Amino acid sequence: MAIPTITVYTDYKSPYAFIAKAPTYQLEERFEVQLEWLPYTLNIESYLGSVDSRDEHQWRKVRYGYMDARRLANRQGLTLKGPQRIFNAYYASVGMLFAKHHDFFRAYNDAVFERFWRRELDVDSLEAISEVIVGFGGDSHAFREYAEGAGRVEHDEIRKYAESIGVFGVPTFVLDGELFFGGDRLDLLMERLRERGIAEKISAE
């Protein structure tokens, strides 16, 4: 029997994706599944407006979102400082794909999430992301060529396909075409794995 794959759509500038990172890793540690992490680079202005144009309702949503995310981050001992501007994060996302292709995804994933939310990394800087890549043994020149060429095509195709199956935000988990949006749906996803008879390697304590 083939090991089921759970596709994980994430974005480094999403506080909820950051909080869901460790529990998502645990899926692979707990069940006989494999995770396929992919970037879904959010367009923040499309649903929360630009900083200059947000109305009070949108600002209330933003303020509550970061307050709520910080509470959840504190449970995990994570540092979560709200970004001081709106980021796109394309270079961080394409860096994820490059790291996957060169077998240092998890180290890269952890570093980018943690440094961004400590306000130590500009995820819109090709130079800054190149330095992260080099720090894990990657080739800066190869990454830069990839980011401005084949990587951009791959990134955009991933986003287009994600939207074609219904993805609209992160984190989103996909199992056999069924979508689970948000880290608070991991319990439901695990329930679905048990219903399918997926072997559980360890039990919850």
Q: Could you state, in order of their start, the residue ranges of all structural domains in the chain?
A: 5-195
Q: What does the pLDDT profile of the chain (205 residues) look like in tens digits?
A: 689 999 999 999 999 999 999 999 999 999 999 999 999 999 866 555 565 666 787 768 878 888 888 998 999 999 999 898 889 999 999 999 999 999 999 999 999 999 999 999 999 999 999 999 999 999 999 999 999 999 999 999 999 999 999 999 999 999 999 999 999 999 999 999 999 999 888 655 5
pLDDT at 49 (0 to 100): 56
Beta-bridge partners for 34 = 5
Query: How high is the pLDDT of residue 33?
Result: 97
Q: Considering only CA atoms, which of 152, 160, 136, 44 is closest in space to residue 94? A: 152
Q: Which pLDDT score, from 0 to 100, does residue 52 have?
A: 61
Tell me the CATH architecture of domain 5-195: 3-Layer(aba) Sandwich (3.40)
pLDDT value, residue 66: 87
Residue 166 Ramachandran class (φ > 0 left, ψ -120 to 50 alpha, else beta): left
Question: Residue 179, CB half-sphere, CA atoms under 13 Å: how many?
Answer: 14
Strand partners, 200: 31
Joined together, the tokens standing for residue 146 give 């990839």
User: 0.85 cut: is pTM over it?
Assistant: yes
pLDDT of 199 reads: 81
Residue 22 vs residues 25, 52, 85, 183: alpha-carbon distances, Å: 5, 34, 26, 10
Cβ atoms of 143 and 133 closer than 8 Å: yes
Instruction: Map residue 16 onto helix, strand or coil.
Output: helix
pLDDT value of residue 63: 86
Question: Which three-class secondary structure state does DSSP give residue 38?
Answer: strand
